[in-house]
């Protein structure tokens, strides 16, 4: 049982609000740059653009839900023992909605990147075609279905703990879902590297482009 002093010491509210705001600003700037580039080149919206913009709107909703939870003390442990059953239930529902928005956002962004690859490199090369389809099927329906099932199960456990006033479950499932998301991201960033190596261009520029993808993998 944590002491009041220990509980009062665990408060990540300000950190979470700053991180959420910074990520939203960076995402908005990225979308603005992409849209300006498209308009300057006078290119029509492609399927990957629709996926990207859908992902951005989902991210805005995700950030809004995250900020709401944060403002209402979701990351201040000292507030948890003071919640009524109704307040705890509402907080877990928001947590569940946030989890679903996070999954949907990741699926849209990953598919957007994969379809962008397809438009640039095509699917003529056998290894690239296999890698592309493997990632598409892993993202949707793989990550979408498994992530939804895991988050639903986690929500059920937390809801049960809140109703019975027992200790919430550990974060093992959340960590598992996070790794399910991180590993495909690294694979997606690795897919175009062989194509980039084969490009006939200045070595300095080529290594710079490859370095960007490698940094993303790390």
pLDDT value, residue 111: 93
Domain that holds residue 51: 4-217
Which range has highest mean pLDDT (109-113, 157-161, 204-208)?
109-113
The overall longest dimension of the chain from CA atoms, in Å, is 65
Residue 157: alpha-carbon gap to chain centroid: 22
DSSP calls for 8-58: HH-B-HHHHHHHHHHHHHHHHHHHHHHHHHHHHHT-PPPHHHHHHHHHHHH
pLDDT value, residue 193: 83
Partners of 76 in beta bridges: 11
DSSP helix/strand/coil, 124: coil
Which DSSP helix (H) or strand (E) runs through 205?
helix 203-217
Q: Given a cut of 90, is residue 178 above it in pLDDT?
A: no
DSSP helix/strand/coil, 210: helix
pLDDT value, residue 4: 42
Q: Given a cut of 90, is residue 161 above it in pLDDT?
A: no
Could you give the CA distance from residue 208 to residue 30 in angstroms, rounded to a whole number?
A: 20
pLDDT value, residue 108: 93
- DSSP code at position 168: P
Looking at the whole model, is its pTM more than 0.85? no
Other CB atoms within 10 Å distance of the CB of residue 68: 14
**89: which residues sit within 8 A by CB, 6+ positions away?**
159, 162, 163
pLDDT value, residue 56: 94
More confident residue, 165 or 3: 165
More confident residue, 165 or 132: 132
pLDDT band at 11 (very low <50, low <70, confident <90, very high): low
b/e per residue, 75-86, with b = 16+ CB within 10 A? bbbbbbeeeeee
More confident residue, 126 or 161: 126
The verdict on whether omega for the bond into residue 141 sits within 30 degrees of 0, i.e. cis, is: yes
**117: which residues sit within 8 A by CB, 6+ positions away?**
132, 191, 192
pLDDT value, residue 149: 81
Q: Given a cut of 70, is residue 216 above it in pLDDT?
A: no
Q: What percent of the chain has pLDDT over 70?
A: 80
Give me 95's structure tokens. 């947590």
Cβ(11)–Cβ(77) under 8 Å? Answer: yes
Task: Give mean pLDDT, residues 178-185.
Answer: 81
Domain count, the chain: 1
Taking only the tens place, the pLDDT of each residue in 81-117 is 666 777 777 777 788 888 889 889 999 999 999 998 9
């Amino acid at each position: 049982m944590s002491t009041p002093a220990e509980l009062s010491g665990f408060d990540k509210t300000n950190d979470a609000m700053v991180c959420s705001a910074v990520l939203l600003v960076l995402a908005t700037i990225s979308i603005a740059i992409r849209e300006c580039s498209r308009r300057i080149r006078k290119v029509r919206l492609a399927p990957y653009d629709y996926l990207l913009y859908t992902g951005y709107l989902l991210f805005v909703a995700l950030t809004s839900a995250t900020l709401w939870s944060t403002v209402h003390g979701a990351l201040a442990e000292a507030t948890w023992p003071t919640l009524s059953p109704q307040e705890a239930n509402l907080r877990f529902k928001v947590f569940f909605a946030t989890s679903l928005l996070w999954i949907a956002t990741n699926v849209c962004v990953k598919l957007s990147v994969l379809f962008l690859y397809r438009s640039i490199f095509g699917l003529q090369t056998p290894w690239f075609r296999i890698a592309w389809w493997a990632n598409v099927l892993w993202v949707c329906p793989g990550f979408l279905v498994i992530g939804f099932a895991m988050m639903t199960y986690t929500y059920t456990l937390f809801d049960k703990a809140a109703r019975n006033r027992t200790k919430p479950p550990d974060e093992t499932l959340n960590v598992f879902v996070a790794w399910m998301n991180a590993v495909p991201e690294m694979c997606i960033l690795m897919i175009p590297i062989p194509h980039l190596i084969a490009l006939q261009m200045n070595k300095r520029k080529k290594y710079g482009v490859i370095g960007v993808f490698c940094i993303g993998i790390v």
